[in-house]
Structure 1
Amino acid sequence: MAEHAVAAVLQRAGATVIQEVASLGQVPAKVEALKSELKRMQCFLRDADARMERGENEMLSQLVSEVRDVAYSVEIIIDTANILARETSRPPSLLGAISKGACYPVHCKRLYSIGKRIDQVTARVGAIFREFAKYSISSSTGLNETRHSMDENESMRARRLTLPDFGDDVDVIGFDSEINQVKDELLDSENKDLTVISLVGPGGAGKSTIARKVYNLVAKKHFNSCAWICISQQFTVYGALKDIVKGAMGSQDFEELGTMSEMEIIKKIHSFLKDKRYLVVLDDVWRIEDWDMVQAAFPDVKNGSRIALTTRNSAVSNHPNARKIIQEVKLLNNDESIELFNRKAFPSYVLHGRDDLDSFRELGKALALKGNGLPLAIVVMGGFLSKNLRITEWRRMVASINWDAMKNEGDIRAILDLSYYDLSSNLKVCFLYITSFPEDYAVPVGLLTKLWISEGFIPNVHGRSLEETALGYVEELAQRCLILIEKKSSRCIRTVKVHDVLRDWGIGRARREGFLKDCSSRDEVETSYSNEMRAYRVVLYDSVCVKVGVAMPNLHTLLIFNAARLERNVFSFRGLNYLRILYFDGMRGRWQLPAEIGQMVHLRYLGLKGGTYVLPASVSNLTNLHTFDARDAVVEALPIDLLSISTLKHVHIYKVESWSVWKTTIQSNLKSLFILPGSQHPKAMGRSN
């Protein structure tokens, strides 16, 4: 992972070369020399990362962590120098020239500080190279990365020829019996009682797939009100109730909910549903207590209403104090396993012009049976092998995985490890990034690709825009069966999800490697664990109320979900001066962003979702901002200088209540601009080039 940290810095540095202005003195030359050292270091890191994956030397973890810290320090230096260059290269007015002269000592002090930091980082780089020699870490020839690059180019060509088949029937092989049984129970006209139908089975057995298939078949046709609720391990009563209101009541106006207690919301839902025939799916229920906390919302008025739940815990399925039907989800038989494997391992675009398919199919049959009928294991294995149509690779999988352990424990981590190791460094971090979103979260592809680009994960590819390359990565991960396609239109993927088993695995991996830290409490933010590297990205879920900048002053990315639960008088931006990505999701009510946000001069992406925001004038100081995305929020007033930020490329504000259009200066570098006064439809006004 440190290898990619260095690569990402070099990628960003290449795109934003320090301006060669006289006011920066020797800084540009020093940074170029430092970048050359980082390029040389990247070759050594390939060997270090490979040895860490094999578990050869735990001491390497600290060394790799130091390399990553150096890479981020170089990025800060580059950004700081460019900010200083832009400030000193503006054509001054007469008063500006006088002011500039008065500020010259401050400029010299800042320039000296940059030079000193470069010297410190250069010394650290030298010490790291000496450590490489101590551990006998060699400079990789780069053959492995070259292979990945070739694989990515091949897969790009394959996608241009044929997109994968994303039909609804792909992942329901072997489930016909369960689907029909659950459907019959839901529609049983003789059973008027409120009935809880439970699908029980291990993770990856297909419980949610069956429930989703049946839900899509019967929900709107046979029930007056429907809702799909993901419970998950991060269950909160408020979050579940909010989702029920949104799904069953069709209401997205949560202003009223913000002033209501949980019991008041339960009564509101109960009152709404009591004269409806409703269907509610509670997906991935872990604990008996989770059911107890929401069951009062569901009235039994003897009209054939149904609740379906999926769970790994048989005790949960037996608990509801209502009429119960329990459906054990069986594993796939041999023929079904082979059919599912073949669909994933042999997509249509790899079948053309091959004369060795019989050999692959014979070996594939043996591999499919080793999946022990667990659909997720077979799907991920097939997705991995579809990108590795080499007999030696298939035989290596047979020999390298402890199949007995998987059979006895249902543990598919070995398959996930193998599939993950096969990804290029860019795809690895893109996949881990998706796992930061909450469980069962439908991730908009437009949001995801903008975050990837802002993070520097997407390389420049000749003849393709960054957005096109990022969309190609989404398709690649879908073809490898590492993400699920939630919604598509005109053969374009709109939203994606990650299976909860893959998400749990990815979150664990991200924490160990210091790529990302997910936190659901103050203690998790403030605690460092012995088996984790220091993280530069943090995801806060639900009711986390903490001065995160104090606990993690070097933070680069902060994603906050269910931000409505934040205590605004406690949460603070102080200390987040190096932040590059800031995203709020699920805010309610009106929130005045503090003026201190203007000190976050390294910020590249600012995303706001839900609620009404008041932006301080200081947001115009965000001189590195590339994207401002508030398409799912209301902006009360737009500062007139915001659109004059020279680095700004994308602005999406679909509802702004106050905007002095004629006083606003719009700089020419914008690629997309959508600003809608009042409640106009987003297509009514805007610019895109």
Structure 2
Amino acid sequence: MAMVLEFFVERFLLKITNFAAGEICKVLCVREEVETLERRLARIKGFLLTAEQRRHVDPATDTRVRELKDVMYDADDIIDLCIIEGGSLLKSRASTTFAVCNPSSSQSSSYFGSIKHRYEISGRIKRLNDRLKEITEDRSTIPDVENVKIDPPHRPERSPGTPSIEVKADIIGTQIEGAAQNLINSIVEISEKPKCVVFGIVGMGGIGKTTLARKVFNDERIIQNYPIRVWLCVTKKYSETDLLKEMIRSVGGNVEGAKSRAELERKLVSLLSKNLLLVLDDVWSPEVWEDFLKNPLMHEAASNCRIVITTRDENVARNLGDNVHHVEKMDEECGWELLWKTVWDNREKGDISRFKEIGTKMVQKCDGLPLAIKVLAGALRSRRSTMEWEKVLRSDLWKMKKLDENVLGVLFLSYEDLPSHLKQCFLHCSLFPDKADMYRKDLIRLWVAEGFTEENGELSMEEIAEGYYEDMIWRNLLQVDPTFVDGSRCTMHDLLRSLAQSLIQGEGVYVSDLQSLNSDPLTKLRRLSTSNIGERIQLPDRIVEEKCLRSLLIFDSPRARTIGDDLFKKLRNLRVLLLNDTSIESLPKSIGELSHL
């Protein structure tokens, strides 16, 4: 996950100010170097945000920002080390004083060893100051350009403990509503004679394919005609057995005892005693149906089924059948309707006609894509004047061209509209696997562990992080799973995930195969997320040798049973460890030596 410099420096300055004024700094004899570091960081605050934005269009600025982040990570590690080591010195202060008076004492070597350690820490801080001085003196690479960030919104405060997430039907435009009814009619009215019929929904990313499929999936007529309904998200690198297991569980079955594909197929067929509607969301290859699911669903013992697939590739849909529906871009009127419905929701609307001209111009910039319009609406929700809307319309961030080619400028604009703590949370979500369900409780724990929460005397860290979760939902950057009425499960659209990944810049990454991890000499990986690990958790030599990893997240690795003791001995800066869906029963003793964890 990429560090947001503005947030990190602000938080670090508070930490280092408190440290410089404390007893530990005095004991370690590093106050002079620490205060120098504090002054230099305070001087660069003014252009940090500008540099973060400019880095995406200027390679020289990007290099300097990477170097600054590297310094900040190292500085944070050193100050934490000072706090830990200094605390130990304070505890042993009385005994070391005795050792000075009695050189023959066995503790004298410990005393002189601590002096050597102080010099080492002081030297590391001095070298950091030298690096920071070299970077910041070259202002030509980080000039004081105009700050193009739109003003941060001021969202009305929520009462603590009052849930603000209301799970309800997704807001859709009349265009998608009409398309959904046509597709539902086709599915319900088609002859019962064909055992399986495939319907394709085709369109570019963000155009509303999943929204349309969800509307069909939850329709009352569909529920009446198809008692068994299953929704499967299909990733590019899907596992046949995992998809079969998920489908079996979705229809109320148990996968215990079935390991092979043939065993799972037989179990699935035995459960399909009633009509089935199956949605395969985001299909990239026709093989998922032709070579895999078609066999059990066409079995003579299975009931009739209707398959709805969503895909960006028309060839995939055509290969599966003739019932193909193309999702069209929204016209201006439908786009404006979707925008104002999402912005005002059920609140007092007032006179919205004065916003329509500006809003329609912004809808045009969204290229008729519902996702872009909804994310834009999330940034506009707290803006109650036409002047504020005009500022958004004129923002240079619409023109951002240097990001991933699949990322729209409006998505980057909405990201830049976030306060720095929410930027961190948004970027962190890209560490989850593609199409992963994210649970509120997991995100809250991770965000607190990562240090993203800003202290508030009235609320606990967990309550603050829960507010961040609600803000992300409110801004349409995370989508609540409608089957969870309490809003506790969500997903992130793959276009938003692509944006987050494009902003990571090598600091954090999710990889499904550790062997495919690319090496970037300009950065040191700080956060690593992966899945489908084998029996023993091992990391690439490059990661271990750098000794910079702060977070290690392991997902969906039921085969993983052991962790090498030497791994934690080398990853001394590890602060966050997540072992999700593994078979690990015990951790090596060396984990107790990780002082940051």
Q: Which residue number in structure 2 is paired with residue 456 of structure 1?
A: 451
Q: Is the 8 A contact 2:514 2:530 kept in 1?
A: no
Which range moved further: 102-111 or 206-215? 102-111
C-alpha contact (below 8 Å) 2:208/2:371 kept by paired residues: yes
**Secondary structure at 1:579's aligned position in 2?**
coil
SS at the partner of 2:319? coil
The verdict on how the C-alpha distance between 1:8 and 1:194 changes in structure 2, with shifts beyond 3 A counting, is farther
What does 1:24-39 correspond to in 2, within 5 Å? 24-27=27-30, 30-39=33-42
- How do 1:226-625 residues align onto structure 2 when only pairs under 5 Å count? 226-251=229-254, 256=257, 260-261=259-260, 263-264=261-262, 267-273=265-271, 275=273, 277-295=275-293, 296-301=295-300, 303-320=303-320, 325-348=323-346, 351=349, 357-368=352-363, 371-398=366-393, 413-486=408-481, 493-511=487-505, 514-522=506-514, 524-528=516-520, 534-542=524-532, 548=539, 550-553=541-544, 575=545, 577-589=547-559, 591-596=561-566, 598-599=568-569, 600-612=571-583, 613-625=585-597
SS state of the match for residue 71, structure 1?
Answer: helix
Q: Which runs of 5+ in 1 are unaligned?
A: 554-574, 626-689
**Distance 1:270-1:164 versus aligned 2 partners, 3 A rule:** closer
Q: Secondary structure at the match of 2:218?
A: helix
Mapped to 1, the partners of 2:484 and 2:285 lie a distance apart of: 37
| Alpha-carbon distance between aligned partners in 2 of 1:99 and 1:139, rounded to the nearest angstrom | 61
Q: Which amino acid aligns with 1:616?
A: P
Shift of 1:334: 4.3
CA distance in 2, matches of 1:125, 1:482: 35
Partner of 1:84: 85
Change (3 A) 1:324 1:345: same
Kept in 2, the 8 Å contact 1:19–1:28? The answer is no
Instruction: Identify if the C-alpha distance between structure 1 residues 265 and 488 changes in structure 2 by more than 3 Å, giving closer, same or farther.
Output: closer
TM-score, normalised on structure 1? 0.72
Shift, 1:215, TM fit: 2.3
Q: Deviations along 1:571-626, whole A, 9 cap, x unmatched?
A: xxxx475433232222315613332355344333332222432223333333333x
Cα distance, 1:457 vs. partner? 2.2
Bigger mean CA deviation after superposition, 518-527 or 422-431:
518-527
Q: Deviations over 1:541-589 (max 9, x none)?
A: 4469995352234xxxxxxxxxxxxxxxxxxxxx475433232222315
SS at match of 1:418: helix
Kindly indicate which of the two structures has a greater share of residues assigned to strand. Answer: 1
Q: Distance in 1 between matches of 2:420 and 2:590?
A: 37
Sequence identity percentage: 24
Contact 2:533 2:559 in 1 (8 A): no
In the alignment, what sits opposite 2:102? none
Distance in 2 between the 1:443 and 1:74 partners? 32
Whole-Å Cα distance in 2 between the matches of residues 525 and 14 of structure 1? Answer: 38
C-alpha displacement at 1:478, in angstroms? 2.1
CA 1:584–1:518 in 2, change beyond 3 Å: closer, same or farther?
A: closer
- Residue aligned with 1:504, SS: helix
Code of the aligned partner of 2:10: A
CA change 1:104–1:243 in 2 (3 A) is farther
- Superposed CA offset, 1:425-454 (max 9, x none): 222222121123223222112211222222
In structure 1, C-alpha distance between the alignment counterparts of 2:520 and 2:507, rounded to whole Å: 14
Distance 1:486 1:9, change over 3 A: farther
Structure 1 residues 401 and 246: alpha-carbon distance in aligned structure 2, compared to 1, 3 A threshold: farther
Q: Is contact 1:241-1:265 (8 Å) kept?
A: no
Alignment of 1:161-180 (within 5 A): 163=164, 166-171=167-172, 173-180=174-181
Give the AA of the match of 1:497.
T
Contact 2:282 2:311 in 1 (8 A): yes
Q: Is 1:113 the equivalent of 2:120?
A: yes
Find the counterpart in structure 2 of residue 137 from structure 1. 143
Q: Give the direction of change, closer, same or farther, for the CA distance of 1:369–1:40 in structure 2 (3 Å limit).
A: closer
Structure 2 vs 1, CA of residues 18 and 598 (structure 1 numbering), >3 Å: closer, same or farther? farther
Deviations 1:94-120 (A, max 9, x none): 9xx998666445544433322221111
* Higher RCO structure, 1 or 2 (CA under 8 Å, sep 6+): 2
Answer yes or no: is the 8 Å Cα contact 2:568–2:594 preserved in 1. Answer: yes
Contact 1:18 1:82 (C-alpha < 8 Å) held by counterparts? no
Matched residues in 2 for 1:80 and 1:24: separation? 14
Secondary structure of 2:436's match? coil
Give the alignment's TM-score, normalised by structure 2.
Answer: 0.82
Partner of 1:7: 10
